[in-house]
Structure 1
């Protein structure tokens, strides 16, 4: 199956090899681009080096790619999923991976350890009040640094030759310009994205576990009728 996968421009490293391992081919379509905020990146790295955080939480691969190569020291590090952890490992950081690949799993995963501790979160300029409230409710403190903005490209996605279209976030679905057609299998990487797609009138045929590998496994189960 040929799958169009929504990714930021130039941020699809490893997708094709992983898809091939599950018997598929893929290519990138980009409804969003990242607008970096260099001063905020610098400020966050300086705060890490000053020892201001007891824990870092990387909720996607892009902030990991922006920040990890420049870190000389770090506290406990949590990655939202295997792709983010892989990026961190490339810079020598052995991160823990959440048991389910959603930010809502962060506070329950750390539990009582959060009490009195400060979490640093480099992220996109998107609100996540549930995550912040959960950390505070557990007795922790949070400093978010919004190190990049996500900007719609305005480019129509090229899906004419695709057998499937995989949305990797709710925002990538909401901001995408594309032409639905019969025979195009719609896939959501996880439940949050699936909810956005249903609300927009495009319910996915396949819903993953929040990771690309888990989504490809779900796709193969669907194809095989399991």
Structure 2
């Protein structure tokens, strides 16, 4: 299949090779762009170097790619998934990877270790009260630095040649301009995105586990049973 995957511009490295390994071709469509706030990046990096955090949590590959090359020291590091961990590894940072690819798994993963400790979280300017409230409820503290904003591109997604469209986040679905077709297979990278699509009137036929690889695997299993 030819799959249109929602990604930030220039942030799709490795997608095509991974898709090919599952027997598909893919290309990027960008409903959002990242507006990086470099002054906040610098503030966060300085705080890391001052040992203000007991742990860093990278919730996606983009902040990992921005922050990691600027670090000369770091505490315990948690990555939300394997792609984010790969980006961190490129800067020499070995990160633990959550067992499931959702920020809601962060607090259960760390458990009692969080009590009395402070987590540094560089991320998008998008609310995530579940994560922050969970850290507080576990007895921890957090410093959330919103180092970039996600801005709609307002460009209609080029889906004419696509057999499927894979939405990689709830926001990428909500902010996308696109034209559904009866023959266009709708795919969600995970259940949070699937819930947004369901609420928006476009229930996905395929729901992944939060990772691209897991979603492609789910897609192939769907096709085998179709």
Runs of 4+ in 1 over 3 A off after TM superposition: none
Q: Structure 1, residues 8-34: CA drift from partner, whole Å, max 9, x if none? A: 000000000000010000000000000
Structural mapping, 1:110-125, within 5 Å:
110-125=110-125
Aligned to 2:38: 38
Q: Deviations over 1:74-107 (max 9, x none)?
A: 0000000011011001111110000010000000
2:95 alignment counterpart? 95
Q: In structure 2, what is the Cα distance between the partners aligned to 1:183 and 1:83?
A: 30
In structure 2, the residue matched to 1:180 is: 180
Deviations along 1:53-92, one digit per CA (max 9) or x if unpaired, are: 0000000000000000110000000000011011001111
Structure 1 residues 1-226: aligned runs within 5 Å: 1-225=1-225
> What number of residue pairs does the alignment pair up?
226
Provide structure 2 residue ranges, at least 5 long, that are not aligned to the other structure: none
Q: In the TM superposition, what is the alpha-carbon distance from 1:182 to its structure 2 partner?
A: 1.2
Deviation at 1:44, TM superposition (A): 0.2
SS at match of 2:77: strand
Distance 2:82 2:203 in 1: 26
Counterparts of 2:214 and 2:176, CA distance in 1: 23
Note the C-alpha offset of 1:124.
0.2
Q: In structure 2, what is the Cα distance between the partners aligned to 1:185 and 1:83?
A: 24
RMSD: 0.6
- Find the residue that maps to 1:187 and give its secondary structure: strand
Is there any run of 5+ residues in structure 1 with no aligned partner, and where?
none
- Normalization by structure 2: what TM-score? 0.99
CA drift at 1:220: 0.3
- Using structure 1 for the length normalisation, give the TM-score: 0.99
- 1:213 and 1:8 map into 2 onto residues whose CA distance is 18
